[in-house]
C-alpha cells in the first residue's frame, strides 16, 4: 500500500493493520502510539541543538492544547516504561538466585 499521498483515513487504517499484525498487547499498542504522538508533536520544534525543554516551550507557544496533551501523556508513558524496566530487573534477579541456589 503506497501511503506517500495517503489521506488520514488510509494511513490510520494502515496503522491499525500494522498493530493488528504486530501481536502486541493492547497496552503495548497504546505505549507505541503514545510515544509516536509525543515524538511527532515535538519533531518540528526539536531541531538543531534545541533541548527537549526548549522544543516543548516552542510547541506550547505554537499549540497550547497539544502541549497540554503531551504534558499529560508523557508522565504516563515514562511511568509504564519504568515499571517494565523494574519488572525485568526483578525477574533477572530471581533467575540469578535460582541459578545460584
DSSP 3-state assignment of 53?
helix
Q: 76 pLDDT exceeds 80?
A: no
pTM over 0.85: no
Q: What is the pLDDT of residue 81?
A: 67
The model's confidence at residue 52, banded by pLDDT at 50, 70 and 90, is confident
14, HSE (Cβ side, Cα atoms, 13 Å): 11
What are the pLDDT digits (tens) for 3-51?
787 788 988 898 899 999 999 999 889 888 888 888 899 999 999 999 8
Pair 34, 76: CB distance under 8 Å: yes
Looking at every residue in the chain, the average pLDDT score rounds to: 85
CA distance 50 to 17: 35
What b/e sequence results for 55-72 when a residue is b if at least 16 CB atoms lie within 10 Å of its CB, and e otherwise?
bbebbbeeeeeebeebee
Amino acid at each position: 500500500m503506497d501511503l506517500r499521498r495517503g489521506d488520514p483515513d488510509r494511513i490510520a487504517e494502515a496503522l491499525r493493520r500494522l498493530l493488528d499484525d504486530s501481536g502486541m498487547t493492547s497496552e503495548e499498542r497504546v505505549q507505541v502510539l503514545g510515544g509516536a504522538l509525543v515524538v511527532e508533536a515535538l519533531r518540528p520544534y526539536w531541531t538543531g541543538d534545541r533541548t527537549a525543554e526548549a522544543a516543548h516551550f516552542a510547541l506550547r507557544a505554537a499549540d497550547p492544547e497539544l502541549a497540554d496533551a503531551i504534558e499529560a501523556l508523557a508522565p504516563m508513558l515514562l511511568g509504564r516504561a519504568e515499571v517494565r524496566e523494574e519488572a525485568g530487573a526483578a525477574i533477572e534477579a530471581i533467575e540469578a538466585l535460582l541459578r545460584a541456589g
